């Protein structure tokens, strides 16, 4: 498939609010991206607006506050996807098509059971959660992540292992937790850890470099098959260097650190 033939579905409902920049990021990587309201996939709209999930090659869940996040981050959006579209989404994943969730989108993927998915494509109930930040506050700040994936994750397929990337965070609930005490070890065994927060010199992250207190400094994970990835930091916000917070003092080129993630998946499909 040529990159320009790759169709990305950027899924939105009321309260998702990072869909414009998510679609732009995929376009910069060469793909076609369309912002699609959930109702367009479930058929609750006029005929010319209807869309089929299976016609897309990549599914992206953008950040925001879907449905206000008033119950638990991502819970309402996930419930709506599951009830109307659960089987389609499961098939999409089982077909090996890539699914990306950023920030609120990551929270939705966990609520859907698509991550960490330690026992099958889509767990019937969530097996992890993105819990309130240690600070108790919404944190909008630069974070540096290291690619710790051994090669399984499609979204880092062309990012060197161990590479540091400045990808900013903006969330109140980003601390990945599970009741499974062996959770981190299992993720590592399956090569499901994708990104860890680190200091800007690559050292171990303390607050604020780890903005939420996530165990083992985990910022992003993928499913065992490597085609579903969720991450708290926002790569779509740094596809150009000129939105990095420190570009006026540190500007090695025009490209932003986040673009590599979009390019990885588009190039792999292409």
Partner 1 sequence: MSAKGLMAKRNVSFDLYDIDILSSDDEDLGRISSDLSLGLSMDEMKAAKGYFSKEGRNPTDVELQALGQAWSEHCCYKSSKSILKQFVFGIDREDVLSRGDAGVMVFDDDHGYALRVESHNHPSAIEPYGGAATGIGGILRDVVCMGAQPVGLADPLCFGPIDMTADIPPGVKHPRYLLGGVVSGIRDYGNRCGIPTVTGGIFFDERYTGNCLVNVGCLGIVKKKDLALNYAGGPGEVMILIGGRTGRDGIHGVNFASRDLTATSDGDSRGSVQLGDPITKEPVIHACLEVNGKHLITGMKDLGGGGLSCAVGEMALAAGCGAEADLEKVPLKEEGLAPWEIWISESQERMMCTCKPENVDRVLEIFDMWDVSAVPIARTTDSRRMKLFWNGEMIFDMDLEFLTGGPIYDRPYILPEVSTKEGEKFPELPDDGKVILTLLSDPNVASKEWAIRQYDHEVRAATAVHPMVGKLNMTGPGDASILLPVHGSMKGLAVAAGCNPWFTALDPYKGGMSGIDEACRNIVAVGARPNAFTDCLNFGNPEKPERMGEFREAVRGIGDIARGLNIPIPSGNVSLYNEASGGMGILPTPMIVGCGLIGDVRKAVTADLKKEGSRIFLIGKTKDEMGGSLLFRKFGGERGDVPGVDIVSLKRLMDRLLEVMDKGLVLSCHDCSDGGLAVAVAEMCISGDTGACINLRSDGIGIRRMLYSESNSRWLAEVDGKNVAAFGAVMGDDAEDIGSIGGPSLIMTEAGVDLPVREMRKAWNDPIWSAMGGGS
Q: What residues make contact with partner 1 under the rule CB under 8 A?
A: 14-15, 17-18, 20-21, 24-25, 37, 39, 45-46, 49, 63-65, 67-70, 135-142, 144, 166, 168, 170, 200, 207-209, 234, 236-239, 242-243, 245-249
Q: How far is the CB of 132 from partner 1 (least distance, A)?
A: 13
Nearer to partner 1, 178 or 217 (CB): 217
Nearer to partner 1, 1 or 49 (CB): 49
Q: How far is the CB of 261 from partner 1 (least distance, A)?
A: 14
Contact 36, 9 (CB under 8 A): yes
234 is catalytic: yes
Compute, in degrees rounded to 10, the torsion defined by CA atoms 65, 71, 76, 78.
90
Nearer to partner 1, 25 or 221 (CB): 25
Nearer to partner 1, 143 or 192 (CB): 143
222 is catalytic: no
Q: How far is the CB of 76 from partner 1 (least distance, A)?
A: 10
Q: Which of 103, 139, 222, 244 is catalytic?
A: 103
103 is catalytic: yes
Q: How far is the CB of 134 from partner 1 (least distance, A)?
A: 10
Contact 17, 64 (CB under 8 A): yes
Handedness of CA 66, 125, 196, 57 (dihedral sign): negative
**DSSP per position, 123-181:** -SS---EEEEPTTSS-EEE--EEEE---S--GGGTTSPTT-EEE--EEESEEEEE-S-T
């Amino acid at each position: 498939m040529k990159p320009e033939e790759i169709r990305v579905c950027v899924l939105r409902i009321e309260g998702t609010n990072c869909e414009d920049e998510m679609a732009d990021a995929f376009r910069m990587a060469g793909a076609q991206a369309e912002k699609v309201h959930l109702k367009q996939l479930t058929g609750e709209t006029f005929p010319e607006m209807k869309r089929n999930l299976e016609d897309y090659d990549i599914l992206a869940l953008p950040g925001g506050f879907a449905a206000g996040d008033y119950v638990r981050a991502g819970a309402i959006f996930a419930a709506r996807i599951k009830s109307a579209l659960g089987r389609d989404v499961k098939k999409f994943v089982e077909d090996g098509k890539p699914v990306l969730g950023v920030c609120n989108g990551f929270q939705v993927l966990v609520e859907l059971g698509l991550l960490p998915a330690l026992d099958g494509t889509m767990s019937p109930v969530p097996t992890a959660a993105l819990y309130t930040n240690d600070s108790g506050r919404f944190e909008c700040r630069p974070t540096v992540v290291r690619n710790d994936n051994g090669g399984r994750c499609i979204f880092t397929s062309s990012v060197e292992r161990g590479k540091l990337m400045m990808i900013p965070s903006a969330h109140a609930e980003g601390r990945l937790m599970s009741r499974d005490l062996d959770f981190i070890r299992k993720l590592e065994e399956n090569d499901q850890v994708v990104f860890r927060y680190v200091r800007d010199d690559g050292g171990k992250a303390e607050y604020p470099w780890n903005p939420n207190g996530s165990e083992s400094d985990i910022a992003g994970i993928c499913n065992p098959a490597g085609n579903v990835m969720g991450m708290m930091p926002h790569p779509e916000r740094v596809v150009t260097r000129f939105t990095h917070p420190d570009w006026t003092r540190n500007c090695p080129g025009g490209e932003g650190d986040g673009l590599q993630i979009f390019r990885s998946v588009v190039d792999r499909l292409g």
